[in-house]
């Protein structure tokens, strides 16, 4: 009944044309605000999923490291028990070592990460190789290496270089007082097989070689710095971590999910998203002043109707609910139009990518990424209804206080 009154009040022709204009301005303002909010949230979703997917090519779903030492060893029986845990799909052993890279007259200090044959199955790093190939298998000559594009640029070396790259690592038992400096470090030559492009921090810090080659260079036979794991399903993370902790006690080992490995990144992504949501919600709140003006003028126009309804026995709270419903209905019409506009715009962007990021060569993607999530639509609609209810409260309250008497 109240909704019927609200619908009739919205549709009915007003005696003053200004009321009609303000009502449609209110609808337009809520439509634009809703479309903007959904669009921006969807773009943030696109960037969030893109960044997470990008980092998933380096950071595993679960990582095991030692608490007190930089490296540790794992027995074959423990490794077999780890692989047999339900929910684990692939297991990879890695060793990270700070290395001095030298090529011709250029030098750079970075981390050489030794990986086994399962590493690419765990992270998918190979698909980020932009130049050359991700092939670290022993060729019978020099071991292969894949450089990050940042390291490659600093050294002036690439997969097209005809000369190998030289890697230096301090010996574990070297004497700092040795007369011959060459006795203080191990050295080995690597053939540059490829160059990967992932993310600046990673590209400038990491190079990849086979686990065996890095263990030999660092004199850490059978030693690893981490065990990296890929799961059969992301939903099993907590359950699998509990099982892993039984094999690797918390006092000696750190078992981390991908979120735990990148707490700062995930916090920033969520914080930016909610900050933008708050700013655009404030824009909707400002737009809702149109609703206050529209309903206030509607109350003034419908005073005679309100008196008639009261004389027929309608209570103040019912009158108030009619005008509250009118305000919410007005905002929902605007929100529905806004949702439709945002969906069309985002669908076109998703399909054709017509809004570009600028210089295509400076980014890993050419156009703004978007991802539409149903919960965002629900969140925006709930926000619109809440704001409309707040904006409609004062005019609705004023309508309920209209007293019966002569028109």
Q: Does residue 115 sit in the same domain as residue 249? A: yes
Query: Is 40 in the same domain as 146?
Result: no
CA distance 26 to 169: 69
Residue 27 has pLDDT above 50, yes or no: yes
Which residue, 93, 89, 33, 86, is CA-closest to 63?
A: 93
Using CA atoms, how far apart are residues 368 and 378, in angstroms rounded to an integer? 23
- C-alpha pair distances (Å), 331 with each of 84, 141, 286, 288, 296: 56, 72, 13, 8, 15
Instruction: With cut-offs at 50, 70 and 90, classify the pLDDT of residue 340.
Output: very high
Which two tokens mark 398?
A: 């004023």
Question: Which CA distances in Å does 401 have to 299, 313, 392?
Answer: 11, 14, 14
Q: What is the mean pLDDT of residues 290-305?
A: 72
Q: What is the mean pLDDT of residues 33-53?
A: 88
pTM of the model: 0.74
* Residue 405 placed within a domain: no
User: Does 306 score more than 80 pLDDT?
Assistant: no
**For residue 225, what pLDDT band results from cuts at 50, 70 and 90?**
very high
| Position with higher pLDDT, 356 vs 294 | 356
Token pair belonging to 96: 């990270």
Position 179 pLDDT exceeds 70:
no
The confidence score (pLDDT) of residue 140 equals 66
Give the 3-state DSSP-derived string for 221-274, with helices as H, strands as E and coil as C: CCCECEEEEEECCHHHHHHHHHHHHHHCCCCCEEEEEHHHHCHHHHHHHHHHHH
| pLDDT over 80 at 234, yes or no | no
Average pLDDT, the chain: 84
Q: How far is CA 87 from the centre of its chain?
A: 24
- Between CA 289 and CA 390 the distance in angstroms is 10
pLDDT value for 407: 45
**189 CB-near residues (< 8 Å, 6+ apart):** 142, 164, 165, 166, 167
pLDDT in the model for residue 30: 86
Q: What's residue 288's pLDDT?
A: 79
The pair of structure tokens assigned to 8 is 């009739």
- Answer for the pair 229, 122: CB distance below 8 angstroms, yes or no: yes
Residues 121 and 83 in one domain: yes
Q: CB of 189 within 8 A of CB of 166?
A: yes
Is a pLDDT exceeding 50 seen at residue 192? yes
Q: Are 323 and 331 in contact (CB under 8 A)?
A: no
Q: Which residue has the tokens 């692989």?
A: 83
pLDDT of residue 108: 94
Closest CA to 368 of 33, 41, 34, 31: 41
CA–CA dist 63, 248 (Å, integer): 12
Report the pLDDT value the prediction gives residue 164, as an integer from 0 to 100: 92
Q: In this structure, are 220 and 92 located in the same domain?
A: yes
94/178 same-domain check:
yes
What is the reported pLDDT for 345?
94
Q: Are residues 257 and 270 in the same domain?
A: no
Coil, helix or strand at residue 12: coil
CA–CA distances in Å: residue 199 to residues 43, 271, 337? 20, 21, 39
How large is the average pLDDT for residues 21-41? 85
Mean pLDDT of 324-344: 87
**Stretch among 23-32, 259-268, 299-308 having the lowest mean pLDDT:** 299-308
Give yes or no: residues 373 and 245 share one domain: no
Q: Which residues form the domain of 162? A: 62-261
Percent of the chain with pLDDT over 90: 43
- Give the contacts of 320 (CB within 8 A, at least 6 positions apart): 396, 397, 399, 400
The mean per-residue pLDDT over the stretch 203-207 comes to 94
What pLDDT is recorded for position 228?
96
Do 257 and 122 have their domain in common?
yes
Answer yes or no: is pLDDT of 72 > 50.
Answer: yes
Domain match, 70 and 50 both: no
Share of the chain above pLDDT 70, in %: 84
Domains in the chain, number: 2
DSSP 8-state assignment for residue 79: H
The domain boundary, picked from 245, 261, 277, lies at 261
* Domain final position from 207, 232, 261: 261
- What radius of gyration, in Å, describes the C-alpha atoms of the chain? 32
Mean pLDDT score, 192-220: 93
> Six-digit token pair at 185?
């470090």
Exposed e or buried b per residue across 319-342, where buried means at least 16 C-beta atoms within 10 angstroms of its C-beta: bbbbbbbbbbbbbbbbbbbbbebb
pLDDT at 406: 47
Residue 229 has pLDDT above 70, yes or no: yes
Q: Please tell me the distance from the alpha carbon of residue 401 to that of residue 291, in angstroms, as a whole number.
A: 19
- Domain limit, last residue, from 242, 261, 280: 261
Name which residue leads in pLDDT, 312 or 330: 330
CA–CA dist 314, 312 (Å, integer):
6
306 plus 346 within the same structural domain: yes
What pLDDT does 173 receive? 63
Q: Are 114 and 212 in contact (CB under 8 A)?
A: yes
Residue 278 sits in the same domain as residue 253: no
Distance CA 214, CA 188 (A): 10
Claim to verify: residue 19 and residue 101 sit in the same structural domain: no
What does the CA dihedral 267, 269, 270, 274 come to, rounded to 10 degrees? 130
What would the mean pLDDT of 126-141 be, rounded to a whole number? Answer: 85
């Amino acid at each position: 009944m109240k909704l019927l009154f609200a619908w009739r009040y919205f549709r009915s022709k007003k005696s003053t044309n200004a009321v009609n204009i303000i009502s449609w301005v209110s609808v337009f303002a809520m439509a634009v605000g809703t479309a903007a909010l959904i669009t921006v949230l969807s773009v943030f979703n696109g960037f969030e999923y893109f960044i997470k997917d990008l980092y998933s090519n380096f950071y595993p779903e679960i990582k095991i490291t030692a608490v007190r030492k930089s490296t540790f060893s794992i027995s074959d029986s423990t490794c077999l028990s780890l692989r047999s845990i339900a929910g684990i799909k692939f297991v990879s052993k890695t060793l990270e070592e700070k290395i001095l890279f030298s090529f011709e007259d250029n030098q750079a200090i970075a981390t050489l990460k030794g990986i086994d044959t399962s590493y690419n199955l765990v992270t998918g790093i190979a698909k980020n190789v932009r130049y050359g190939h991700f092939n670290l298998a022993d060729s019978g000559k020099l071991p292969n290496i894949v450089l990050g594009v940042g390291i490659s640029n600093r050294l002036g070396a690439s997969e097209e270089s005809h000369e190998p790259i030289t890697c230096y690592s301090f010996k574990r038992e070297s004497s700092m007082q040795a007369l011959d400096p060459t006795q203080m470090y191990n050295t080995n030559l690597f053939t540059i097989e490829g160059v990967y492009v992932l993310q600046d921090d990673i590209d400038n810090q990491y190079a990849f070689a086979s686990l065996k080659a890095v263990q030999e260079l660092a004199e850490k036979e059978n030693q690893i710095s981490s065990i990296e794991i890929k799961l059969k399903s992301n939903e099993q993370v907590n359950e699998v971590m509990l099982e892993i902790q039984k094999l690797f006690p918390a006092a000696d080992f750190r078992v981390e999910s991908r979120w735990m490995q990148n707490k700062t990144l995930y916090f920033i992504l969520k914080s930016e998203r909610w900050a933008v949501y708050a700013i655009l919600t404030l824009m909707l709140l400002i737009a809702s002043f149109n609703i206050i003006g529209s309903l206030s003028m509607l109350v003034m126009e419908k005073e005679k109707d309100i008196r008639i309804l009261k004389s027929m026995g309608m209570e103040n709270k019912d009158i108030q609910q009619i005008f509250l419903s009118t305000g919410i209905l007005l905002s929902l019409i605007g929100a529905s139009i806004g949702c439709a506009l945002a969906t069309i715009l985002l669908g076109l962007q998703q399909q054709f990518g017509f809004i570009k990021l600028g210089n295509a060569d400076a980014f890993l993607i050419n156009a703004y990424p978007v991802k539409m999530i149903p919960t965002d639509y629900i969140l925006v609609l709930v926000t619109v209804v809440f704001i409309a209810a707040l904006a409609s409260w004062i005019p609705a309250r004023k309508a309920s206080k209209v007293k019966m008497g002569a028109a």
